[in-house]
Amino acid sequence: MAIEKINVPSLLRIPAFCHCVRAGDFVFVSGTVGTDPKTSKLIPGGIVEQTKQTLENIRAILNEVGLTFDAMVKVDVFIRDLNDFGEMNKAYIGIVGNDPPARKTVGKADLVFGALVEMDCIAYIEGKK
């Protein structure tokens, strides 16, 4: 099985980090936060804005390998404050849709750059080689 490490030039990349790894028919997207691709800084606002930007960054990573959110089979969500779950969930569904992949949400997380939310995911490349 070939393993390919993939980075998206327009997104923030920190040392010893790659945006995703393709291994066989799966793509493993690394932990991603709501940084603005133009400034590499967390976008201002609260959990809703950061959730939306995090998902847009994940969309850019998936698009880099020719995939969309429909290919996601598992998402892990880490939020700093579980009281933000409802707002995060509403923003998540607004972007991912009403037929989401399997998901885990963990609260009370101390996240990179002081982010309010971080997500990673696994996507399946159906029939693509």
pLDDT per residue as tens digits for the range 72-112: 999 999 999 999 999 999 999 999 998 999 999 999 989 99
State pTM to two decimals. 0.93
pLDDT at 128 over 70: no
For residue 6, give both structure tokens. Answer: 């993939």
Reported as a single tens digit per residue, the pLDDT across 1-14 is 789 999 998 887 77
Q: Does residue 63 surpass a pLDDT of 70? A: yes
Q: Is the pLDDT of residue 129 over 50?
A: no
Domains and CATH numbers, the chain: 3-124 (3.30.1330.40)
